[in-house]
Structure 1
């Protein structure tokens, strides 16, 4: 009987310990989940403000979003999210989560901001698998190349000019790496084409 009593007491003790541990984990998750989410939103807004000046909008970009149907111009077979920047209720610009297929080591994920006048206010590569020292120069932390899209439109840059210099355009390629910048230029250009083709609907949201 002493053995069974000991086993039962140990089982009860382990059960209480398990309940307390689970409760502690649940409380920790509850208190840290909001902090984690706040940090994600803060990082997101920081990225947005790099490509669209914050004085140009007065709404919460993280919450004012729209899911766009899959479209080859946006580089994805899945719906694409866009963030709507408003000023006094009017759409001032959109920031697209677009994809650049065909990088040297796969797809690249981009943010592309386009204002209501069809001008690219900025672009950033937010995810890639490019080779360090070569294709990774599309990353702002590696070079300033991505800044060359700021202020570009089809009004001041012809369709042919939206290519790397090797293809007769005006955008630099990287020494030993043409495929990746070519893919990014094409993606930004296609996003701008998509915006122009759907401009009325996008600006009326």
Structure 2
């Protein structure tokens, strides 16, 4: 086989290889996207037990009015229902921590009680405020069962600020930011209850 034939054979093999790779990527792209959506769904919905709802909350985002709150900003909201009845509202909320943005997911039941809080994004100092990103999170679990009025507005603060909550060790600013953001979300829920719960309230 002469040099030209060898070069053409190599070129043909390269084209076939590139084409096969391209076709494989194209055919697997929908599957990869579906798996990514499923992973995102698990990450966002693991504040709720799997049997607590029967809809697809992430596929029906809520229209949030007045999203700029006192200490934070709402990014998105979702409604979880079972048999047509609203069982929970999930609010994605962003606040400013010590080292940057903290994004929280806050689950509230139909009566305005906190079901759970999860950190979705944070850039806090690893040994100080960074543990707010741990999941499950012992410090954030202390807020479960609280509501806008329980404790009172004055109680929604650190104990060192005459409130009711402990802070994460060495992370006063991070702790204050999270408490304020959670209280913001509960207050927003209370003030927009009918719109958030919808007809399945």
TM-score where L is the length of structure 2: 0.83
* Distance in 2, Cα, partners of 1:141 & 1:89: 30
2:94 match: secondary structure: strand
Shift of 1:185: 0.5
| Counterpart check, 1:54 vs 2:50 | yes
The answer for the alignment partner of 1:168 in structure 2 is 162
| Counterpart check, 1:38 vs 2:38 | no
* Distance in 1, Cα, partners of 2:136 & 2:110: 30
Counterpart pick for 1:96 among 68, 87, 91: 91
1:65 match: secondary structure: coil
The answer for the alignment partner of 2:75 in structure 1 is 80
Q: Which one is further off, 191-200 or 166-175? A: 166-175
1:175 match: secondary structure: coil
Change (3 A) 1:71 1:46: closer
* Distance in 2, Cα, partners of 1:26 & 1:80: 37
Match runs of 1:6-25 below 5 Å: 6=4, 10=7, 14=11, 17-18=14-15, 20-25=17-22
The answer for the alignment partner of 1:154 in structure 2 is 148
Contact 1:57 1:87 survives alignment (8 Å): yes
2:62 match: secondary structure: strand
Structure 1: which 5+ residue stretches go unaligned?
none
* Distance in 2, Cα, partners of 1:67 & 1:22: 44
* Distance in 2, Cα, partners of 1:161 & 1:11: 78
Shift of 1:188: 0.6
TM-score where L is the length of structure 1: 0.81
Match runs of 1:57-136 below 5 Å: 57-69=53-65, 71-73=67-69, 75-76=72-73, 80-101=75-96, 103-136=97-130
Calculate the aligned-residue CA RMSD, in Å: 2.8
Contact 1:82 1:95 survives alignment (8 Å): yes
1:21 match: secondary structure: helix
Please list the CA deviations of residues 76-116 of structure 1 after superposition, one character each: whole Å capped at 9, or x if unmatched.
3xx72212100111222111111122x11011011100111
| Counterpart check, 1:184 vs 2:178 | yes
Count of aligned pairs = 197
